[in-house]
Amino acid sequence: MKAHHKLGYIIFVILIIVGVFVWVRPETQIDPSDEPVLDPTSEQLQGIWLGEGVYEDGSDWYMRYEFTGSNYTLETDSTYGETGTFEVSNLYEDGTIEIEKTYKEGERVHAMIITIEDEFTFNLEGMTMRHIVE
């Protein structure tokens, strides 16, 4: 066998070994689940959150957020509502979280500030939201 054939054979064998090593390494395997992996802060927001009160004229108002995975739905007492995606854009030392919402088919992006008080309550820009357990 000629020297350049031996060298080609050795390089081929090395590539096969490296390929097998990379293929069987557990950390390179694709997670078969379709569920997105959420960061711990996004996990805290999962579920239904309700804020409610009374307008100056005495009529009731409410705001209901439902967070599922990285998606959200907003429903209000008026005709306004949103459906979109969210992600945590900033975590601050005082426990405040900045969430970036994307809605209207990606045309609108809005940041909102949330302060989690406990597992059942968060403050959304001055409004108390309670976690609803169904």
Same domain, 75 and 108: yes
Residue-wise pLDDT for 41-89, tens only, equals: 888 899 999 999 999 999 999 999 999 999 999 999 998 999 999 999 9
Same domain, 65 and 96: yes
Residue-wise pLDDT for 15-37, tens only, equals: 777 666 666 665 555 555 555 56
Give the ranges where 29-91 is alpha helix by DSSP (H). 40-45
Region for residue 125 given its phi and psi (left: phi exceeds 0; alpha: psi -120 to 50; beta: otherwise): left
Cα dist from 44 to 36, 48, 120, whole Å: 15, 11, 10
Indicate the SS3 state at residue 55.
Answer: coil
**Do strands 96-103 and 108-118 pair parallel, antiparallel, or not at all (unpaired)?**
antiparallel
Same domain, 56 and 92: yes
Q: How many folded domains does the chain comprise?
A: 2
